[in-house]
Structure 1
Amino acid sequence: MAAAAVVRDYDPKNDCRAVEEVERICEVGPTGGGKLSIFTDLLGDPICRVRNSPVYKMLVAEVVVQKDGGEWRREIVGMIRSCIKTVTCGKKLPRNGKTSHPLPVYAKVAYILGLRVSPFHRRMGIGLNLVTKMEEWFRENGAEYSYMATENDNQASINLFTHKCGYSKFREPSILVQPVFAHRVRVSGRVTIIKLSPGDAEVLYRRRFSATEFFPRDIDSVLRNSLNLGTFLAVPKGGREAWRGSEEFLAAPPESWAVLSVWNSMAVFKLEVRGASRKLRGFAKTTRLLDRAFPWLRLPSVPEVFRPFGLHFLYGLGGEGPLAVEFITALCGFAHNMAKQRGCGVVATEVSAADPLRLGIPHWKTLSCADDLWCIKRLGEGYSDGSVGDWTKSQPDLSIFVDPREV
């Protein structure tokens, strides 16, 4: 027997263990179509998943439950995390003619991350209550839009947000996951990879990608965050000698180039693949043993993903020129080798399904999610810049910018 749920602010001193228990019993990730389920194993304070965002909040749902002995106790049965930031929601052409690149149009946007309700307390309106209370906070802080991500086959989540909360289906990006093998991946000898300073990385991103949907206006904070392991630029072989900084590079770029940044998600949370059969576990172990024994064969081994493992997240992927796809592949190989050195289990990224660079991103279909779904809701009237209409009705671009702080 339990009383109605009460939604309140998360208390890091007293709620951490109870929230982790709800996380543990709630499966997260694709579960349909024979895919393995993945759950989050947070390290330390559960609010750390949004703490790197400029404005963030976490709420919990608490009920008073009568135990078998007749004693009444408070019990946390749900939670929701969110952050608010300013991102690109559209673009416009400059009027002064000084540049041919479109200029970004920004909006203040809220992102819902990690809505969880205990399996024993579902279909009681707790999820709806959590979302409603969080949206009140969004409006109080001037957010114009709210959006969330789920899997296309998570019908319960889709029904909650689209049927009960007024969200609409918006974008369908793909989460691409590559295992980290026991061997190093070969990187094309036709490519030179340069690690950029945070200042050079910011110049490059603002000049070339700031008009991309969901580009964070505070990209400088992302690039200077301690979780950011670096931004890497791929140019034709020998380009390192000619490197004089982003300003000179953008003034006369090579015919083809590509860029990406690496975020250390393993310092925030870990994952674990659950539900694998003994046969599959044995097969995976055999592939690792063979890969370690014969690294020169470069066997596609399965990492130890059946216990908590970390990941590196690749973001800010972009490039230009006829060899951009090849250069992205080289950068992904470089990132794989970095992850191997740091003990990660997988390397992951999220891109628009229509992004042409997607063809150059190595991944395993079994671990990936080709049908991620972003839903959006308009909270306020207009944009921060009133030159564009309702963002929820806009057509998708080829690319999106996935903020690693939301992973």
Structure 2
Amino acid sequence: MTVVREYDPTRDLAGVEDVERRCEVGPSGKLSLFTDLLGDPICRIRHSPSYLMLVAEMGTEKKEIVGMIRGCIKTVTCGKKLDLNHKSQNDAVVKPLYTKLAYVLGLRVSPFHRRQGIGFKLVKMMEEWFRQNGAEYSYIATENDNQASVNLFTGKCGYSEFRTPSILVNPVYAHRVNISRRVTVIKLDPVDAETLYRLRFSTTEFFPRDIDSVLNNKLSLGTFVAVPRGSCYGSGSGAWPGSAKFLEYPPESWAVLSVWNCKDSFRLEVRGASRLRRVLAKTTRVVDKTLPFLKLPSIPCVFEPFGLHFMYGIGGEGPRAVKMVRSLCAHAHNLAKEGGCGVVATEVAGEEPLRRGIPHWKVLSCAEDLWCVKRLGEDYTDGVIGDWTKSPPGVSIFVDPREF
């Protein structure tokens, strides 16, 4: 008999860690990715407005944890509309439409107890909590080649394939990456960063309504804007007028991104690598560290626990926006190097035009992550957008770092 109940850290930690160790992420026969949650199984969701973790327990006398699931709820942008409450139609502005969205992550079932309906039971119990707390949609992210996960959610749980963003991962080298001398990078304070995001990106799909909570979180390392050197905003200290004035009179091209410190929440480890791969990776690091002036790319030590920084809120405008993004990614790389991280990662829409400015290694990245969505209840947007699950994808998405 299997019982699903809320996670209790005082008695469940050892059992949850045991299941996590058994459930390595990755197809059989390939390199697998192991996630170490640093002794806190709910650390990846505790920064969300509302969250819950459930465990599946089996046995009568000697109880054993055989599965777990995590979930969180937040309010995000699901569409946009014209606000005509102005003097004339020419004054109309585009405003975001919000919905209460739930996210399922961290579903794990012990390999010895699979195909017994435990995963399905965990999902249904989590969805019930979502409904009780007013969530209208639920979504999950999984590898598109993880057939067992895809079958569970789309076949048994009623989810449909929704978006296919790309996870882009770049190694952190032993040398610092050069930033173009034609670009000035400016760090914004959280209040200014919030203003910029709300004024320019609040209608982007999945934009979190509580962006201020994200930017003020201790894991957020800052928001950075790139502008052309020599412009009125890139001419030295004291040139930044504030985000509102900046957006009113922007330079020809600019870009923005924020950095989140995942290293203090969890670590990753690639397992199953051959001895030859390990030796080659170590050789590249030795050469890079010994001769950093050559700027040779090196493979970080991903075969031992390593941390990562996540870049989010990537956006920009103008003919040189891609180059601006490239400079910001270089800046983020150098931050990750100082922080002792192994990689820098981000996730963007498949058709995101700025992705050309994001350096990444194909072997470390995922060209098509799969997001599946399910409608839990009626939309409270008064039928303006109808069913979000049937909406076409936009050019960009906003990936919340709290859920990466």
CA distance in 1, matches of 2:382, 2:316: 28
Equivalent residue number for residue 163 of structure 1: 155
Distance apart, 1:382 and its partner CA: 1.6
Counterpart contact for 1:108–1:384, Cα < 8 Å: no
Counterpart contact for 2:253–2:319, Cα < 8 Å: yes
| 2:10 partner SS | coil
Query: In structure 2, which of residues 59, 63, 81 is the aligned counterpart of residue 92 of structure 1?
Result: 81
Percent identity of equivalent pairs = 69
Query: In structure 2, which of residues 39, 42, 67 is the aligned counterpart of residue 47 of structure 1?
Result: 42
Amino acid across the alignment from 1:12: P
| 1:93 partner SS | strand
Distance 1:134 1:292, change over 3 A: same
| 2:367 partner SS | coil
Counterpart contact for 2:30–2:272, Cα < 8 Å: no
Amino acid across the alignment from 2:39: G
CA distance in 2, matches of 1:177, 1:100: 40
**Number of aligned positions between the proteins:** 396
Runs of 4+ aligned structure 1 residues displaced above 2 Å come to: 96-102, 238-242, 383-386
Equivalent residue number for residue 115 of structure 2: 123
TM-score (norm 1): 0.95
Query: In structure 1, which of residues 294, 301, 305 is the aligned counterpart of residue 302 of structure 2?
Result: 305
Equivalent residue number for residue 31 of structure 2: 36
Larger mean Cα displacement after TM superposition, 112-121 or 241-250: 241-250
1:99-248 aligned at under 5 Å gives the runs: 102-238=94-230, 239-240=233-234, 241=236, 242-248=239-245
Distance 1:81 1:98, change over 3 A: farther
Counterpart contact for 1:58–1:81, Cα < 8 Å: yes
1:78 aligns with 2:67: yes
CA distance in 1, matches of 2:90, 2:208: 23
Equivalent residue number for residue 68 of structure 1: none
Counterpart contact for 1:376–1:392, Cα < 8 Å: yes
Counterpart contact for 1:35–1:367, Cα < 8 Å: no
CA distance in 1, matches of 2:149, 2:100: 24
Equivalent residue number for residue 339 of structure 1: 336
1:326 aligns with 2:315: no
CA RMSD of aligned residues (A): 1.3
Counterpart contact for 1:7–1:59, Cα < 8 Å: yes
Gaps of 5+ in 2: none
| 1:47 partner SS | coil
CA distance in 1, matches of 2:293, 2:90: 52
1:363 aligns with 2:360: yes
Amino acid across the alignment from 2:188: L
Amino acid across the alignment from 2:348: V
TM-score (norm 2): 0.96
Equivalent residue number for residue 369 of structure 2: 372
Distance 1:98 1:226, change over 3 A: farther
Distance apart, 1:383 and its partner CA: 3.1
Deviations 1:81-130 (A, max 9, x none): 00000000001122125866521100001000110001110000000000
Counterpart contact for 1:62–1:76, Cα < 8 Å: yes
Amino acid across the alignment from 1:156: A
CA distance in 2, matches of 1:298, 1:172: 33
